[in-house]
Chains A and B, each alone.
Chain A
Amino acid sequence: MSDDYLRLRGVSKTFGTPTGPLPVLDGIDTTIGRGEFIAVIGPSGCGKSTLFNVLTGLAAPDGGGRVELAGADISGTVGHCAYMPQRDLLMPWRTILDNTVLGLDVQGVPRTDARRRAAALFAQFGLDGFENAYPAELSGGMRQRAALLRTVVQDKEIVALDEPFGALDSLTRTDLQAWLQGVWQQHDWTVLMITHDIREAIYLADRVLVLSPRPARIVRDLAVPLPRPRDLGLLTAPEFVALEAQLLELLHTPAPGGLG
């Protein structure tokens, strides 16, 4: 695990609005090691999505800020980061297999190659036998797994998950969190996950980045030194609860200088 695989250096972003400039990100600085699982948590509307846009290259940081990957400046360039949005965004006209190869299609990977790569992951993602089903024929949990498969099969350096389980019922969510931890341990994905769920953040992540209200800064970089594999029993363990209490306190007290 090299400690500076992905580095955000002074990433700021201000949008011009009719009522004047709106600072959204205010000097985000952090380094992320290869294979780390990072959760990003913060009050709603704090600029997490903008942070992800910068990460995926859909938006460039304001002057001076940089996103570096293994030492190279990748600010404002797409293609290094596979992004999974909050909604599964499976295309209703594509079968599940065709949906999962979307990113590979865009990259121009030959069809048979792409389909072979995606199909190899179907069993692990619990989608075996649904290759030719349409999204509407799947349950919410399955659709979310298909969306994650579409994300990771692109084989990008970084996997960015934007509240991947936010729209699911809590039972399905817990199932998927446990499952995600399992598949993450088998692969060497470097994951950044936005979440609103403190437990999800602690349960899944190696580190939790806590953002302030807009404009977002990192107010705490909290390591989660819990051993893996983590099982659900851990959710009630004292060290888990202590971390949870810390995060709760951070998120519910106004940060100094923040909007409160």
Chain B
Amino acid sequence: MTIRSEPVIHTAASPAPDPVLRAEQRPGPSRTRRLLRTVGPALLVVLLLLVAWQVAVQLTGVRPQILPSPVRVVQQGWLSRDDLTRHGLSTLGVTLIGFAVSLVVSWAVAMTVDFVPWLHRALVPLLVGSQTLPIIAIAPLMIIWFGFGLLPKVLVIVLATFFPVAIGLIEGFANADRETGRLLASMGASRWQQFRYLRLPGALPRFFTALRIGITYAVVAAIFAEYVGATSGLGIYMSMQKNSFRTDLVLAAVFVTAALSIALFLLTYVVERLVCPWHKRSIDAGAGPRDV
């Protein structure tokens, strides 16, 4: 598969009927205005909620150990910024390592299942089963079995994220257009060539959807694994602060977690744009996401 992103050459072919209007030629709102329109409503809602929270805390005079105001959370969080950064980076590292392992495993399983049909029937129920495991019960066992190091956290993340990614890939591969498969077969394509030219690129949009779900699960799973037992990370930080009734710092760590998840979530769009340059251009050109 080739990935190129040079712009289209805008020369009209002489004998051709007019091509569809290019996205770049269409009048539309500027980039910043479009961005504002996309994220504006979400920001507004968050802002309103924070204001309501602040007002409620001030009006009721509730003790900060029970519910600190958002301003206090930010103030105290800022004072503990060194701790939050250190633990945040630790969580980020664990998340990325765990998710990377999960991706490797899910690609390996999905490809195996695609090439060996009977394994599909053998393994998919197992995958579904893995998703029904109560992580809340498994995570402490992982600590007992594997200690406080990286391994149990990676395992918890893999357990939590493997399923959506693997299923997304398996279904993506399996939904490859049959007619295109026949076309490739008529060209003499081997099974591997069919995978490489058709099933793999065709599965990418689904994969990225699954990736977005998976990466948010991964952060939650990392925090959870750390919460149960770790030497560093936002999870163990929250656990310690809770035990010393520093609700404000627990919430500050929650904010950091949310920011981390959102950043990783948005990152998947950047990666998708780089890997699937056709996707956006196809949508811009007025075609809906089409089956391939």
Residues of A with Cβ closer than 8 Å to B?
56-58, 78-79, 81-83, 85, 87, 89, 91-95, 98, 102-103, 105-107, 123, 126-139, 141-142, 145, 154, 172, 175, 179
Residue B31 at the chain A interface, CB threshold 8 Å: no
Min Cβ gap B104→A in Å is 23
With contacts A102-B187, A142-B17, A175-B17 taken as known, whether A89 is within 8 angstroms of B282 at the C-beta atoms is no
With contacts A85-B183, A93-B1 taken as known, whether A137 is within 8 angstroms of B8 at the C-beta atoms is yes
Chain B residues within 8 Å of A57, by CB: 186
Min Cβ gap B291→A in Å is 9
Closest to B286 in A: A136
Judge whether A126 and B20 touch: CB under 8 Å. Answer: no
Min Cβ gap A179→B in Å is 7
With contacts A91-B180, A92-B278, A106-B189 taken as known, whether A137 is within 8 angstroms of B12 at the C-beta atoms is no
Judge whether A92 and B185 touch: CB under 8 Å. Answer: no
28 inter-chain pairs at a CB distance below 8 angstroms, sorted by A residue, are A56-B186, A79-B187, A83-B186, A87-B179, A92-B282, A92-B292, A93-B201, A93-B202, A102-B197, A106-B188, A106-B189, A107-B188, A128-B11, A129-B12, A131-B9, A132-B7, A132-B9, A133-B8, A133-B19, A134-B281, A136-B281, A136-B286, A136-B290, A137-B281, A139-B18, A139-B19, A141-B17, A175-B17
Residue B86 at the chain A interface, CB threshold 8 Å: no
Judge whether A129 and B186 touch: CB under 8 Å. Answer: no
Instruction: Count residues of chain B with CB under 8 A from any CB of chain A.
Output: 46
Judge whether A79 and B4 touch: CB under 8 Å. Answer: no
Judge whether A128 and B14 touch: CB under 8 Å. Answer: yes
Closest 9 CB pairs of A and B: A129-B11, A136-B282, A136-B287, A126-B15, A126-B16, A83-B186, A56-B186, A106-B187, A93-B201
A161–B6 CA distance with the chains assembled, in angstroms: 33
Min Cβ gap A83→B in Å is 4
A93–B5 CA distance with the chains assembled, in angstroms: 11
A93-B276, A128-B13 known, 9 other contacts, Cβ within 8 Å: A78-B186, A89-B177, A91-B292, A93-B201, A106-B193, A126-B15, A133-B19, A139-B18, A139-B19
Min Cβ gap A177→B in Å is 14
Chain A residues within 8 Å of B281, by CB: 134, 136-137
Chain B residues within 8 Å of A136, by CB: 278, 281-282, 285-287, 290
Judge whether B16 and A79 touch: CB under 8 Å. Answer: no
Would you call the interface of chain A mostly helix, strand, loop, or mixed? loop
Min Cβ gap B21→A in Å is 9
Judge whether A89 and B187 touch: CB under 8 Å. Answer: no
Residue B22 at the chain A interface, CB threshold 8 Å: yes
Picked from B8, B16, B292, the residue with its CB within 8 Å of the CB of A127 is B16
Min Cβ gap A184→B in Å is 16
| A-contact 0/1 string along B268-290, CB 8 Å cutoff | 00000000101101100111001
With contacts A132-B8, A134-B278, A136-B287 taken as known, whether A58 is within 8 angstroms of B185 at the C-beta atoms is yes
Judge whether A91 and B197 touch: CB under 8 Å. Answer: yes
Q: Which one of B8, B17, B183, B282 has the greatest number of beta carbons of chain A within 10 Å? A: B183
Min Cβ gap B166→A in Å is 22
Min Cβ gap B237→A in Å is 43
A139–B18 CA distance with the chains assembled, in angstroms: 7
Judge whether B201 and A91 touch: CB under 8 Å. Answer: yes
Min Cβ gap B179→A in Å is 6
Chain A residues within 8 Å of B230, by CB: none
Residue B2 at the chain A interface, CB threshold 8 Å: yes
Picked from B17, B22, B292, the residue with its CB within 8 Å of the CB of A137 is B22
With contacts A58-B182, A92-B282, A129-B12 taken as known, whether A154 is within 8 angstroms of B187 at the C-beta atoms is yes
Closest to B2 in A: A98
A58–B188 CA distance with the chains assembled, in angstroms: 9
Residue B121 at the chain A interface, CB threshold 8 Å: no
With contacts A78-B186, A126-B16, A141-B17 taken as known, whether A92 is within 8 angstroms of B290 at the C-beta atoms is yes
